[in-house]
Each structure stands twice: as C-alpha cells, then as structure tokens.
C-alpha cells in the first residue's frame, strides 16, 4: 500500500526510545515542513487542474498536526527547540529533477514517500510507546499520513499516468531507503 522499498529496521524504536523527546520535537518540525511543502506546490503549480483544491486541505491538516504536537510537547514539558536537520529529506529532495514537468512528478512522489515512511513510523510508535495517550495519537496519525501518501500519488497519476509514476516511484523508493540509511547520527522520526 505505501510502496516503501524496505520496511523500517526492527531496531529503530529501540535506538530512539531513550531520545523520544527529540523525536517528538522533530515530529513537530516535520508537520510544519509538510504543510510548507504542500503550500509551496500550490503556489508553484496553481495552473494544474485540481492541485490547489486537493493540497489545500493537506496544508490545513498538517498545520493542525503541528498545533497538536505543540500541545503534546507542552503537556510533557518539552521545549520546541531548533534541531539540526537530518540528512533524510535533504538527500531525498536532492533526487528531484530540475526540469519541468519531471520536477513536479518527482516532488509529488518524494512527498508521497515521506508521508508513507511517516505513516509506517507512526504505526510503530502507536504499538511501542508506553505513554497510552501518545500511542493512541500516533494510531490516529497513521491513517492520516497513509491518506496523504495516496493523495500525492493520485495527483501524480492524474498528471503523468500510471506507468510513468510506477517507474519513478520504484526509483525514488530505492533512493528513499538509501536516504534513510544515511541518517544515523541523531534520533529522528526518519532516522535509521
């Protein structure tokens, strides 16, 4: 369903568990970035049929998730500190081709893959976090992020066709795993 080239390493949660507070801060920042990504596509691709109306609800939903994460941080006495950016998204975005229309195809697929990996990680958090309200919250987010993956891939198919999307999705899914594996220095939502 989520078209990830490889599942999360079984040891991921064990590696981040002691630094869960940093993963929560990272998650808050990622929600903000996800909203920004969707909004930037709305600005850049306003003339594309359905794109603004399709992505506008995602912008609002991602900002709502950001606000919810701010509440979760506040409830737990965790400050929203600035974090050094992980290499994951930067590496993956570096695979986006520069020329249009391939650039749009790649941006949609990269956004979809990031949402897919987030969904997978949220499912793991919902099953492993000992804090029951936080685990329940991650269970809800799993469904939302999986839906966002579908929105981005559906838009890509609408504009570029099934075959072109499948080919590029396969290529970028492999790159996504490589990007994930290169992020080992910090405990992050998208770290190996």
Please write the tens of the pLDDT for every residue from 63-115: 999 999 999 999 999 999 999 878 898 899 999 999 999 999 999 999 999 99
- Residue 101, preceding bond cis, omega within 30 degrees? yes
- Residue among 128, 42, 24 nearest 79 (CA): 24
- Give residue limits of the domains in the chain: 14-181
| Neighbour count for residue 144 (Cβ, 10 Å) | 17
- Residue among 98, 114, 101, 97 nearest 37 (CA): 114
Dump pLDDT digits (tens) for 126-145.
999 999 999 999 999 999 99
Helix (H, G, I), strand (E, B) or coil at 48: coil
- Give the CATH class of 14-181: mainly alpha
pTM: 0.95
């Amino acid at each position: 369903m989520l078209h990830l080239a490889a599942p999360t390493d079984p040891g991921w949660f064990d590696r981040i568990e002691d630094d869960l507070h940093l993963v929560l801060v990272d998650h808050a920042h990622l929600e903000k970035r996800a909203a920004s990504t969707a909004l930037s596509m709305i600005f850049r691709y306003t003339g594309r049929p359905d794109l603004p109306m399709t992505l506008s609800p995602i912008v609002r939903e991602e900002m709502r998730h950001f606000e919810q994460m701010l509440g979760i941080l506040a409830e737990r006495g965790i400050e929203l500190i600035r974090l050094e950016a992980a290499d994951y998204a930067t590496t993956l975005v570096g695979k986006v081709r520069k020329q249009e229309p391939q650039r749009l195809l790649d941006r949609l697929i990269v956004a979809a893959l990031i949402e897919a990996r987030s969904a997978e990680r949220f499912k793991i958090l919902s099953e492993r976090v000992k804090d029951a309200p936080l685990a329940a919250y991650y269970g809800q987010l799993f469904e939302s992020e999986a839906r966002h993956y579908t929105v981005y891939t559906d838009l890509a198919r609408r504009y570029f066709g099934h075959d072109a999307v499948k080919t590029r999705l396969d290529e970028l899914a492999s790159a996504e795993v490589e990007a994930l594996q290169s992020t080992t220095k910090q405990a992050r939502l998208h770290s190996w």
